[in-house]
Structure 1
Amino acid sequence: MTFQSFLAAAPTRLDPLQLFLDADIVVQAVIVGLVIASIWSWAIIVSFWLRMAGVKRRANSFEADFMEAEDPHSLLGEKNRRTNASARVAAAGIAELRASSDKGRVRDKAGAAQRVSMAMEGQVAEEADNLSARLNFLATTGSVAPFVGLFGTVWGIMNSFFQIGAQENSSLAVVAPGISEALFATAIGLFAAIPAVIAYNRFSARVNAFEARLHRFADRVSGQIGRELEGG
């Protein structure tokens, strides 16, 4: 096949599906893996966005009610503790205060206040860990996917050189299909990695901001408990 005939027979637009079907089995496996990783990354992105919106909304409502309530303990029911991060932080402090009490009296007030603060800080760290747990997959996809795609590219180019040797022909008609398939693997790798990296950076910042917010709430609760201890 001459160069002119190859150009005449070449498709007029890029067909990703045809590139996949014509690719070597190894390149196909790489592309399938990257597509699955991309789909899973988008599922995490959407679910985390919805989850974070709900977490912040519930925290806003609870914190406002808790700081204004005459009996804040009444807001620490099972439902709130199950669905609300701020409620769990406050409940950790109240539980430690009760554990430090002897028949309703606190003998070591300074020590009790410190233990209450530490209990809430520990709960804040646990809440942040729970929120960021699934983000690790986004970080992994963002860092690994380009290299997986590059592996498919290298394999496809190696296959193109093999075809050159097998056919003893180095014309563009022999080399171009394999190189196209190879570069398609790199494109899919970037397609999977770029959204994952952007989402991971964005969501990590949101988790950090929410963790800082819980720290501030814990400080307010700790201060309120400290005043109650001093008044008692």
Structure 2
Amino acid sequence: MTDTQTQEVSKIIGEKFEAKKGICNDFATSLLIYDWIQIGDGAIPQYLVPESIESEVFSNGNSLTMGEAEIDSNQTRATSGFTSEGTVVQFGSNKGVYTRGTYTLYGKTVGCYKFHSNDYTPDEASALNKDFDKAHSSWSRVYTCTKKYNCHSYTWINSSSSNMYWLGNPDVFAGSDEFTFIGKNIDKPSPSLSAGDKITVGASICVNDGFGNVTCSTHSANVISSTGSTQSKLGSCGVYIAPADDLVKFYAGYYYNIYR
């Protein structure tokens, strides 16, 4: 099909699905075309899936790829920023959908995910904010909960609410020439914190970062005062201001590393 024909097919599928969805309890057959594509090609080009039915297509066990309309097979890796691998995945933990790839920064390249879809609805976000605020009343929320980015990405890539990346392993960026390792808070004597420092919480249990590497860093945070106040994203919950020592306890860690 030509690009024009492809776009028209995508539009028609989306419109027909929405119309049928409103008047029929069994609309699964409208998705059979995607099963056929999956069987024939092994994956479904994302540009063939209208956003309105993406969750239904994905929940059927189909695999999505960015397709030729989104990524060139000869694409060179970005010298800075995100480079897609062309695969869309869904996290089992928060059900968010992400594009798998790498992120290049500080002269280093690490595995990373870019948010794609299925964030919290406004009602879900409001309820989660309310519950978390109540459970941790001494902490101050700065930004709302979202699946778009996590603590490591917020600390090491982009400390703003416009962040779109989920970073599973901060160790490579932390160990780059851009930062100096100051020490651990459990060292004797204990090194002091300064505003602008970054910390990673270390735990006894290490995990796979999803890209074949292992990290013991369960959390990252920006230090905003010499008294130990930090600002960080708490998983899929919001961005909060909290004491560094509280974060060690919250993430069942043993210490935090300090980078400057």
**Larger strand fraction of residues:** 2
What range describes the TM-score normalised by the shorter chain of this pair?
under 0.3
Write 1 or 2 for the structure with the bigger share of helix.
Answer: 1
Work out which structure has the larger RCO, using CA pairs closer than 8 Å and 6 or more positions apart in sequence.
1
Superposition TM-score, scaled by structure 2 size: 0.19
